[in-house]
Amino acid sequence: DQQVKQNSPSLSVQEGRISILNCDYTNSMFDYFLWYKKYPAEGPTFLISISSIKDKNEDGRFTVFLNKSAKHLSLHIVPSQPGDSAVYFCAATRSGGGADGLTFGKGTHLIIQP
């Protein structure tokens, strides 16, 4: 039972355009969500996070949107750059206690085309 789902294994976007990566979750106890970027043979690098008390968080070219009623979040990257080509993982946890490990989706491979 996958509690965090990234339904697009890959996404191709032209350089300069907007990249939108989607993530759905099923566990209503999750209240803290994160996006990580991963290059081959490296560990995940933290990008941006959002608490369930917010519906939007922005950091430079990266914006995360959270729709709690739909149990859906998305990561927007604008404008997309060649260095953004990587695998992006959505992760979730309960920040208030209980299990402290992150639950990850399977990732979306973002390819930025010149």
Partner 1 sequence: NAGVMQNPRHLVRRRGQEARLRCSPMKGHSHVYWYRQLPEEGLKFMVYLQKENIIDESGMPKERFSAEFPKEGPSILRIQQVVRGDSAAYFCASSPWRQGADQPQHFGDGTRLSIL
Considering only 13-21, 28-36, 65-73, 74-82, which stretch makes contact with partner 1 by CB under 8 A? 28-36
Q: Is 99 in the site for partner 1 (CB under 8 A)?
A: yes
The Cα–Cα gap between 33 and 113 comes to: 28
The strand pair at 72-77 and 86-93 is best described as: unpaired
| SS3 of residue 82 by DSSP | helix
Q: Which two tokens stand for residue 61?
A: 């070219």
Residues 34-53 that bind partner 1 (CB under 8 A): 34, 36, 41-46, 49, 51, 53
Task: Candidates 8, 22, 74, 103: give the one binding partner 1 (CB under 8 A).
Answer: 103
> At a CB cut-off of 8 Å and minimum separation 6, what does 11 contact?
19, 21, 108, 109, 110, 111
For partner 1, give the closer residue by CB, 19 or 88. 88
29, 98 Cβ separation under 8 angstroms: yes
* DSSP letter, residue 84: G
Quick one: 28 or 42, whose CB is closer to partner 1? 42
CA–CA separation, 33 and 51 (whole Å) = 6
Residue 18 or 99: the one with the smaller Cβ distance to partner 1 is: 99
- Give, as ranges, the residues between 55 and 84 that touch partner 1 (CB under 8 A): none
The residue among 79 and 109 lying less far from partner 1, judged by its C-beta, is 109
Which residues are near partner 1 by CB under 8 A?
A: 4, 6, 32, 34, 36, 41-46, 49, 51, 53, 89, 91, 93, 95, 97, 99-107
